[in-house]
Structure 1
Amino acid sequence: MWAGVALAAVAMAAWAAWLGWDQHRDVHPDGSTTGPYEAWQVVGLGLTLLAPVCWAAFRGYAVAGVVGTTAGLTVAAFYDWSDDASGLFVIGTILVMIGTLAVTSAVALLATALKRKGE
């Protein structure tokens, strides 16, 4: 259980480090807006979280790695986006949860398979 809690904390800290500071949308000359995040920030977040998920899987805590990371990113997204008056942040948060669950599950399965192959 503690591994999951630790990984949730790592995921929330990684969200804050990579995405938490960028809260402004970019307005282009044609009036369209993008953001608030750039692609490199999201890629950096994903790459940063690969290490703890793989570490957990190699140590035999694959489920804790998946659940902890998913919970941490979901809570961070909910907190970061909850000031959206439209209420659409809930859909975004659910999509973050589903995407994180899918990717961390695949990474944990791959890491576990590689560990078993190496034994």
Structure 2
Amino acid sequence: MSQRPLKLVPQLTAILVLAVMTLAVWASWLGWDQHRDVQPDGSETGPYEAWQVIGLLLTLLAPVYWAASRRYIAGAVLGVTAGLTVAAFYDWSDDASGLFLIGVGMIMMGSLAVTGVASAVIVSVKAWADSTRKRS
């Protein structure tokens, strides 16, 4: 029997762990802030500030690096994407217009693309560094 099923378990574990971590990170950075700011012209902004979103993204770099550097690419990409998508859906689903689904779709596609590129860069740089070390 091949060892292929044994390699599937760490990938699935990484997906699950990163999805749960992403949900927790979303809750800590964005979940508590539901207040919209009313501008002097009557328009509304928010509920999130730029520093909150930047903090979320920077915090998620650590688990993505951890998973990608161990070659759990599926865990890095699918775990973070699933976590962000579920968190956005839950957080924004009280919108009566239904337009929140467009935002959730954009979160899903954007996080899929960004974590895919970040994982590819991490794996490439790590492979290059390993090959450089072996040549020395």
TM-score of the two chains, using structure 2 as the length reference: 0.86
Task: Give me the whole-angstrom Cα distance separating, in 2, the residues matched to 1:65 and 1:49.
Answer: 10
SS at structure 2 position matched to 1:37: coil
Gaps of 5+ in 2: 1-11, 131-136
Report the alpha carbon displacement of residue 60 of structure 1 after superposing the two structures with TM. 1.2
Task: Give me the whole-angstrom Cα distance separating, in 2, the residues matched to 1:10 and 1:110.
Answer: 22
Q: Counterpart of 1:72 in structure 2: which amino acid?
A: G
Query: Is it true that 1:36 corresponds to 2:36 in the alignment?
Result: no
Report the alpha carbon displacement of residue 80 of structure 1 after superposing the two structures with TM. 0.5
Report the alpha carbon displacement of residue 99 of structure 1 after superposing the two structures with TM. 0.7
Alignment of structure 1 residues 8-47 onto 2, 5 Å = 8-47=19-58
1:58-86 per-position Cα deviation (integer Å, ceiling 9, x unaligned): 01101211000000000000000111111
Q: Counterpart of 2:59 in structure 1: which amino acid?
A: T
Gaps of 5+ in 1: none
Task: Give me the whole-angstrom Cα distance separating, in 1, the residues matched to 2:96 and 2:129.
Answer: 51
Q: Counterpart of 1:84 in structure 2: which amino acid?
A: D
Counterpart of 2:112?
Answer: 101
1:66-117 per-position Cα deviation (integer Å, ceiling 9, x unaligned): 0000000000000001111110111100000011011101110010001101
Length, aligned pairs only: 119
Task: Give me the whole-angstrom Cα distance separating, in 1, the residues matched to 2:20 and 2:69.
Answer: 19
Task: Give me the whole-angstrom Cα distance separating, in 1, the residues matched to 2:43 and 2:103.
Answer: 20
Alignment of structure 1 residues 1-119 onto 2, 5 Å = 1-119=12-130
Which of 1 and 2 has greater Rg? 2
Task: Give me the whole-angstrom Cα distance separating, in 1, the residues matched to 2:84 and 2:94.
Answer: 17
Q: Counterpart of 1:77 in structure 2: which amino acid?
A: A
User: What's the Cα RMSD here?
Assistant: 0.6
Task: Give me the whole-angstrom Cα distance separating, in 1, the residues matched to 2:81 and 2:19.
Answer: 7
SS at structure 2 position matched to 1:36: coil
